[in-house]
Amino acid sequence: MNKRFEGYVSVITGGNSGIGSATAHLFRNEGAKVALFGRNHTKMASVLNELGSDSLGFIGDVTSTTDLQCFFNEVKQKYGKIDSLFVNAGISKSASIEQMSEEFFDELFNVNVKGSMFTIKLALPLMKENSSIVVTTSNTLHNGYDQLSAYSATKGALRSMVRSLSAELLSRKIRINSICPGPIATRLLTKDFDQSTHDSIMSNIAENIPVKRMGEANEIAKAVLFLSSTDSSFMTGEEIIVDGGMTAIG
Ligand code: NAP
């Protein structure tokens, strides 16, 4: 197999689950050393066990700059650098405008926006020329979805952040792009449903996707590796939408 990432150090927030975990496996298979950040101990231990030796797992919360700084200190000590940063940790919650509390709004913006911004800020001292950043947004930023106004607003904010940072990071020769997934059957989407409602909800979602199926975490991970590699060396400030045609076809 072609090992595009031999000698790379890849850092992934939300690397202990779903899209982040799938991406960690692909990076590892292609030769990278991976450092993961997430909250859940059990899931972290399980992913680290699958990845094998020479990977790093750190338990922390992206809303805490102290946790993030401790993580990047460990990355520096163990690997000395970051070649690719996947800013992926995020939460999704739905509420109508009437139901929306300040706590609900603040939690979404703290995790998804503040967490992403400070992940990038604190990682940058370890990133050299030709390194690359990928940020996970969502196809909900492109269309209107009932009860997702706050979540979609966080992802729209990230899309704008990527555009502006791409200009700011030009002088350092660091590229930044976003990956924009549609519905993927990870815990983020399935956590609110018991088994009996799960299947019918998933098939309802799939019915509204032009290709008539949910996406797989691996299908997002492959695009993340493209954006992280020199194969995308002429791209910055951009996004790749991987959503089974939802944005393009509707
Ligand atoms: P997931 O399996 O629930 O993964 C979310 C990851 O984010 C987990 O590793 C979680 O860690 C981490 N995370 C959440 N809050 C955190 C916090 N405060 N501090 C540190 N880590 C935190 O769901 P996923 O689908 O892979 O989600 C990954 C990204 O894709 C998210 O940004 C999400 O918005 C985006 N996305 C997903 C979909 C979809 O349909 N699944 C669609 C569009 C965009 P713990 O589990 O340890 O808490």
pLDDT band at 1 (very low <50, low <70, confident <90, very high): low
Domain over 9-186+217-242 is classified CATH 3.40.50.720: yes
Element (H, E) at 60: none
> Ligand 1: does its nearest atom lie under 6 Å from the Cβ of 19?
yes
Q: What are the residue boundaries of the structural domains of the chain, listed by start?
A: 9-186+217-242
In this predicted model, what pLDDT tens digit does every residue of 93-149 receive, in sequence order? 999 999 999 999 999 999 999 999 999 999 999 999 999 999 999 999 999 999 999
The SS3 call for residue 114 is: helix
In this predicted model, what pLDDT tens digit does every residue of 2-48 receive, in sequence order? 799 999 999 999 999 999 999 999 999 999 999 999 999 999 999 99
Say how many Å lie between the CA of residue 171 and the centre of ligand 1.
Answer: 31
Q: 152: which 2 tokens?
A: 């979609």
Q: Which atom of ligand 1 is nearest to the CA of 89?
A: 7
> Ligand 1: does its nearest atom lie under 6 Å from the Cβ of 181?
yes
Percent of the chain with pLDDT over 70: 100
Paired residues of 14 in beta bridges: none
* Phi, psi for 36 (deg, rounded to 5): -115, 145
Neighbours of 58 (CB within 10 A): 21
